[in-house]
Structure 1
Amino acid sequence: MTRPLIGIITNLHVVDSSYRTHAGGVMNSEAVANVSGGLPALIPADPGLVSVEELLETFDAFVLTGGRPNVHPSEYGDEETEAHGTFDRARDAITLPLVRACVERGQPFLGICRGFQEVAVAMGSTLHPEIRNLPGRLNHRMPPDGTIEEKFALRHKVTFTEGGVFHRVMGASEVMTNTLHGQGVITPGKRFVIDGRAPDGTPEAAYVEGAPGYTLAVQWHPEYNAAHDPVSRPLFEGLGEAARAWHAGRRAIPVLRSA
């Protein structure tokens, strides 16, 4: 049986200040291939190159990756400010309608960091441009210095809803995660269910209520050490199971089959 084709959303990256690329971290490809059991393929997130309709018909599942550019605030009714950082409007134009279409079709996806925020905004949520500036919040950003291992080190707990989706996926009500994000969800959309939070209350894990398929999203980076980390592995294994079901017959399966 051929592996399901899992599309990895890329970010626009400029090499040597002039050469434009669509780039995806090797960690994402390794997690898809080695843990999800899928065939990883990088997707240029630009509506001038691909359409949402083509992506839905070509791929079995998607990984909405992290990235430095933030979702443009106009997508959730806010004004652009310097605090919002940089943007990738081409990626916004692909991922937001892609998320909505996947939710309705039951086509699986896993949202990571910016991908978490994309799922949130697609479902009507609002974001804060710099979560650490809110009273009582932690600094969730990547440490500025250190090795990759130090940057992706486990830094805070995430506590899941007792008996909820993530509790059951992880087999634990509390886990340790890395943290490398600046923005955070302030007001969740009606169907964007916050199922896990950091100690300061920041939303860290969510799913889409009523979606027929796999629609998990996390604010941390599970692609790092995905094959060996007990918190990361179930997320990519679940994505792989859902992708294989879609590949076999465009059949949506829920995040969890039974209680």
Structure 2
Amino acid sequence: MTRPLIAIPARFSATTSALRYAAEVNARALVEAVYRAGGEPATIHPDPDPACVSARLSRFDGVLLPGGGDLDPRLYGASDAHEAVYDVDVTQDAFDLAVARHALGAGLPLLAVCRGLQAVNVALGGTLEQHMGSAGPGTEHRHLVHPVALLPGSVVARACGAEKVDASCYHHQRVDRLGSGLAVTARAVDGTVEAMELTSAVGWFAAVQWHPEDTAGDDPAAQGLFDALVAAAGS
């Protein structure tokens, strides 16, 4: 049986323990979750010229936009950057936005995780809150697992097979203004957007602010998101 081919844009890394120089990487747990779902994960190089995205993605059956550093705030109209903004890379940003636009426009199955969700929102004209900070209990979103209620019948709820999940979070930014055509399908107790989908999607699409790969190895609800992506890619 041929595994559906899932494109995962690489993340630039200044150092890695196994290599001498800078690297292009993806989280092992993320790759394993795709493979466990029956997909063939393929890390792809972020080309400085995003105009080639359509041709490059034509050979793939689905796309996974992973987590990573922050998007350049200028991409969503901010005049300056908060001091907490980190790891901005113009090549990474241009490529991720181009991948998001192409996948959504072409109906290519797409799962967007953490930064991936934020990239989709910006690609569709939305904005981000550059730094959430912490306003007390229930508002911290780094190194934390917290419950998230999912909208019944939503893409993410169907994929997870549940209406409530334990979300493993690591982010300091969140959606501010929602991008065109997007609908919120989950929020945290502090109002943070935790999942989105399109109101009129051409193909399968789900975006989550948390990191389902963190727990997918032993949490069927988290693994369900990767299973749904691969199933859509193989149909």
Structure 1 residues 226 and 79: alpha-carbon distance in aligned structure 2, compared to 1, 3 A threshold: same
Number of residue-to-residue matches in the alignment? 232
1:59–1:164 CA distance, 2 compared to 1 (3 A): closer
Distance 1:2 1:164, change over 3 A: closer
Shift of 1:191: 1.1
Where does residue 194 of structure 1 map in the other structure?
Answer: 184
Task: Kindly state the Cα deviation for residue 79 of structure 1 after the two structures are TM-superposed.
Answer: 2.2
Q: 1:43-62 alignment to 2 at 5 Å?
A: 43-47=44-48, 51-62=52-63
Query: Identity rate of aligned residues, in percent?
Result: 38
TM-score normalized with structure 1 length: 0.82
Q: Which residue of 2 aligns with 1:149?
A: none
* TM-score, length of structure 2 as denominator length: 0.90
Matches of residues 1-259 of structure 1 in structure 2 within 5 Å? Answer: 1-15=1-15, 19-35=21-37, 37-47=38-48, 51-67=52-68, 69-81=69-81, 82-133=83-134, 138-142=139-143, 155-245=145-235
Structure 2 CA distance, aligned partners of 1:204 and 1:132?
17
Q: In structure 2, do the counterparts of structure 1 residues 241 and 223 end up closer, same or farther at CA, with 3 Å as the change threshold?
A: same
Task: Tell me how large the CA RMSD over aligned residues is.
Answer: 2.2
Q: Which runs of 5+ in 1 are unaligned?
A: 143-153, 246-259
Structure 1 residue 183, shift from structure 2 partner: 0.6
Give the deviation of 1:57 after TM superposition. Answer: 1.2
Q: Is the 8 A contact 1:137 1:202 kept in 2?
A: no
| Structure 2: tracts of 5 or more residues without a match | none
Residues 149-204 of structure 1, C-alpha deviations (whole Å, 9 max, x = no match)? xxxxx621111224433333333322211111111001111212110011111000
SS at match of 1:238: helix
**Mapped contact 2:133–2:140 kept (Cα < 8 A):** yes
